[in-house]
Chain A
Amino acid sequence: MSTRYSAVAFLVIVALVAGLASSATPADPVKVAFVDPLSGPFAATGENGLNQFKYAADGINKAGGVLGRQIEVVPLDNKVSPQESLIQLKKVIGDGIPFVFQGNSSGVAHAISDAVLKHNERNAGNRILYLNYSAVDPALTNDKCHYWHFRFDAEADMKMAALTDVIAVNPKIKKMYIIGQDYSFGKAVAEGAVSMLGKKRPDIQIVGNELHPIGKVKDFSPYVQKIVASGADAVITGNWGADMVALAKAANDGGLKVPFYTYYAASDGVTAAIGAAGIDRIRLVHESHPGNPNAPKALSDYITGYRKLHPQNDINQPRINTALNMLALAIKKAGTTDVDKVAAALEGMEYTNLSGDQLVMRRQDHQLQMPIYISVHTNKNIKHDLDASGFGLSLETKVDRDKATQPTTCKMQRPT
Chain B
Amino acid sequence: MFQLILFSILNGLVYGMLLFMLSSGLTLIFGMMGVLNFAHASFYMLGAYVAFTLGLRLGFWPALVIAPIVVGLLGALVERHGLRRVHRFGHIAELIFTFGVAIVIEEIVQLVWGRPAKSYQVPALLDFPLFRAFGSSFPAYKAFMLVISVAIFAFIFVILTRTRAGLIIQASLTHPQMVAMLGHNVPRVFMVVFGIGSALAALAGVIAGPVLGTFPGMAQVLGSIVFVVVVIGGLGSITGAFVASLLIGIVQTFAVAMDVSVGGTLAAVGVQVNTGGALHDLWKVTIAQVAPILPYVLLVLTLILRPTGLFGTRET
Contact = CB atoms under 8 A, between A and B. Distances in A.
Contacts of B121: 275
Contacts of B117: 44, 242, 245, 268-269, 272-273
Contacts of A41: 215, 217, 220-221
Contacts of A246: 212-213
B213 A228 contact: no
B114 A312 contact: yes
A245 B288 CA distance: 20
Nearest to A222: B256
B222 A218 contact: yes
Interface string B95-128: 0000000000010001000111111010000000
Contact of A210 (B1, B110, B252, B288): B288
Given A41-B220, A224-B136, A272 B213 contact: no
A73 to B, nearest CB: 17
Interface stretch (B4-12, B65-73, B86-94, B227-235): B4-12
B116 A219 contact: no
User: For chain B, what secondary structure do more than half of its interface residues adopt (helix, strand, loop), or is it mixed?
Assistant: helix
Contacts of B14: 221
* Chain B interface residue bracket vs A: 35 or more
A226 B257 contact: yes
A212 B257 CA distance: 12
Contacts of A224: 136
Interface in A213-235: 213, 215-219, 221-226, 228-229, 231
Contacts of A353: none
B253 A222 contact: yes
A229 B1 contact: yes
A364 to B, nearest CB: 33
Contacts of B292: 212-213, 216-217
Interface in B150-186: none
Interface stretch (A140-148, A166-174, A248-256, A406-414): A248-256
B141 interface: yes
A168 B225 CA distance: 42
B216 interface: yes
Interface residues of A, number: 45
B113 to A, nearest CB: 10
B275 interface: no
A313 interface: yes
Given A217-B292, A222-B11, A246-B212, A43 B136 contact: no
Given A242-B213, A253-B142, A269-B119, A43 B110 contact: yes
A93 interface: no
B132 interface: yes
Nearest to A269: B117
A387 interface: yes
A163 B291 CA distance: 30
Given A43-B216, A222-B257, A245-B213, A387 B119 contact: yes
Interface in B1-48: 1, 3-4, 7-8, 11-12, 14-15
A213 B119 CA distance: 24
A256 B136 CA distance: 6
Given A228-B3, A242-B215, A253-B141, A44 B136 contact: no
B4 A44 contact: no
A252 to B, nearest CB: 8
A226 B286 CA distance: 14
B136 A254 contact: yes
B272 interface: no
B213 A273 contact: yes
Interface in B121-151: 121, 129, 132, 134-137, 139, 141-142
Contact of A40 (B7, B220, B225, B293): B220
Contact of A255 (B1, B137, B252, B293): B137
Contacts of A387: 116, 119
A40 B217 contact: yes
Contact of B289 (A48, A211, A231, A389): A211
A18 B106 CA distance: 46
A85 to B, nearest CB: 18
A182 interface: yes
Contacts of B110: 43
A218 B209 CA distance: 11
Interface in B170-227: 211-213, 215-217, 220-222, 225
Nearest to A388: B119
Contacts of B141: 253
A242 B218 CA distance: 10
A47 interface: yes
Most buried by B among A39, A223, A256: A39
Among all A-B residue pairs, the 5 with the closest Cβ atoms: A269-B117, A255-B137, A41-B217, A272-B119, A222-B256
28 contacts: A41-B217, A44-B115, A44-B117, A44-B215, A44-B216, A47-B116, A48-B115, A210-B288, A212-B289, A212-B292, A215-B217, A218-B222, A219-B11, A219-B15, A221-B14, A221-B253, A225-B4, A225-B11, A226-B4, A226-B256, A226-B257, A242-B215, A245-B213, A246-B213, A249-B213, A254-B136, A268-B117, A269-B118
Given A222-B254, A254-B136, A273-B119, 10 more contacts: A41-B220, A44-B215, A44-B216, A218-B221, A221-B253, A222-B8, A246-B212, A254-B137, A269-B215, A387-B116
